[in-house]
Amino acid sequence: MPSNNNIGQPSEAMLDNFQEPSVQHGKVVAESLIAACNAAQAEIGINPSLTDDDLPMRWPAGDAGHIAAALYRASYLPQQEVAIVATLALLSGIAGRAYRTPTGATLSQYYLLVAPTGSGKDAIHKLIPQVLRSVGIAQADRFAVSERFVSAPALHRRILEQPGFLALHPEFGKRLVTISSPRAQGGHDQQFGDKLTEAYEKEYMEGIYRSNPDDCVAGVEWPALSFLGETTPHTFYRALTIEMMEDGFYSRFLTVLVTSERPVSNRRASLDLFGNAWESLHPLISKAIEINDTPPFKPIEVGYVNASAWTHLDNFEEECRQRINHANKGEDAFGAAVWNRAHLKALKISSLLAVADNCEEPRISRQHAAWAIDLVRRDAQTFMEKVDSGDVGDGDDVRQKKVMEICLKILQGKIKDKNPKLSPEGIVTRRVLQTNTSRLAPFKNHPLKATKALDETIRSLLDTGVLMQVEPHKAVEVYGEHGKCYRVLDVDGHS
């Protein structure tokens, strides 16, 4: 039975009455939507890819790839993305303070592993400490801390007492939700988020001074904090806010999204670091301990193998600059944030790969640079796809993007309507829109709940001319459709 709810109901003059011009226009729009999407997919297909055979990514260049492969083989649920991000985070924890990029930045970095439940992301908390114990070097375990710091002061004190380490944070997505919540303003979790923002690439971490001398800790140069958290896609993308984009919190993280399905269990999983992996890690850990503990503190600066490697990274920096300027002109905070620090991340990753190959005289090759740039691009492109599809954040704009994404999938046949006659004409039903939005967080968590949120979203799309409601009696007469339905009129900005 049709709903009596009139929210979003246009005047009679604005109804689509199935006159021939409207029908033809609907067909043209439907065809253009599908063509635009196919063109975008074709573009993705010809761009440089990280895929390697049946795996979702290429292994890192050099010895870092051997370390990642060893972690992959040691995982009960072997996921290549998990092994790669664990390797990079491990190297950042070890080399973060002892080495510098060619521009003088530390090799410390924040990482976020985004993976569905049950996909093997917990392996990072087991394998990274296991690797450090397996190399057979005293104090090697100083480079990774598996601890959920309860407050910013706790993290601050740990950094001062032992700078240059990797903080492993389980279920960071749940904490991220609190960090982004206006209702938790000034709480421990938000202060922790502020401390993470502050500590990134900081040259000097101020000390702690109390009335009791035993509680005082002196400040330290180059704290070089690295961070690895893990979360699920739904929790992560919904927790992101404009404020996180504008204050630089998000841009500090290199995010790796697991795109693979849950793998078959590896019942013979075991950590084997013999060969290139051990030969890389053992001298690197020894050298990092020596540099950190020998005064005066003299970190090693990474160089370039040749001009080709430098040029490749320099060109990427110019690409990032142009993308940031383009995003800022369009007041696109998400676009600006995703490319801000992108070059720095690529430079840090390139340097890590070089250090893994030669910890005494590390040099970035073009292969190191190319792999690092591709990884950072993968992160940026994945994030912007989520933004464009309405999966990031909350608000009216997010809901509109999500409805239009559903409309596109309906016209492509990816989402089926029980009335197959409508989608070829560029028409979508309220029934299908409600079914596919009712459980989505931007709709479900709306103060007026999912149905009212969809009403308001459709009304906005009608008002802006993106959708046009089909005249009810014509919908019944032509297609036997008794529920509300809408013709898609405008694809700009939604395809």
Encode pLDDT of 128-176 as tens digits: 999 999 999 999 999 999 988 989 999 999 999 999 999 999 889 889 9
200-218: pLDDT as tens digits: 999 999 998 887 877 788 8
In the predicted model, what is the mean pLDDT of residues 335-355?
97
Helices (H), 57-140: 63-73, 80-95, 123-134
In the predicted model, what is the mean pLDDT of residues 382-393?
82
The whole-number pLDDT of residue 20 equals: 58
Q: What confidence category does residue 41 fall into, taking pLDDT thresholds of 50, 70 and 90?
A: very low
Return d(Cα 327, Cα 43) in angstroms, integer. 21
Whether 7 has a pLDDT exceeding 70, the answer reads no
In the predicted model, what is the mean pLDDT of residues 185-209?
92
Please give the sequence-ordered ranges of beta strands (E in DSSP) within 81-240, or none if there are none. Answer: 99-100, 110-114, 144-146, 166-169, 204-205, 220-221, 226-231
Burial class, 67, CB count within 10 angstroms (exposed 0-12 / middle 13-18 / buried 19+)? buried
Q: Tokens representing 377?
A: 């691009």
Return d(Cα 40, Cα 384) in angstroms, integer. 13
Top-confidence residue, 39 or 248: 248
Q: Determine which helix (DSSP H) or strand (DSSP E) holds 392, and give its type and residue range.
A: none
Q: What confidence category does residue 314 fall into, taking pLDDT thresholds of 50, 70 and 90?
A: very high
Return d(Cα 292, Cα 297) in angstroms, integer. 6
Q: What confidence category does residue 239 fall into, taking pLDDT thresholds of 50, 70 and 90?
A: confident
Whether 27 has a pLDDT exceeding 80, the answer reads no
The whole-number pLDDT of residue 388 equals: 79
In the predicted model, what is the mean pLDDT of residues 186-200?
92
Q: Which residues of 460-492 are buried (b: 16+ CB within 10 A; e: fewer)?
A: bbbeeebbbbbbbebbeebbebebbbbbbbebe
Q: Could you tell me where in the chain the CATH 3.40.50 domains are found?
A: 54-388
Return d(Cα 53, Cα 396) in angstroms, integer. 41
| CATH pick for 54-388 out of 3.40.50, 3.30.379, 3.90.930, 1.20.1070 | 3.40.50
Provide Rg for the chain, Cα atoms. Answer: 26
Output the CA angle 22-28-33, nearest 5 degrees: 125
% helix, strand, coil for the chain, step of 5: 55, 10, 35
Return d(Cα 330, Cα 230) in angstroms, integer. 32
Q: What confidence category does residue 491 fall into, taking pLDDT thresholds of 50, 70 and 90?
A: low
Tell me which range, 175-189, 244-258, 433-447, is most confidently predicted by mean pLDDT.
244-258
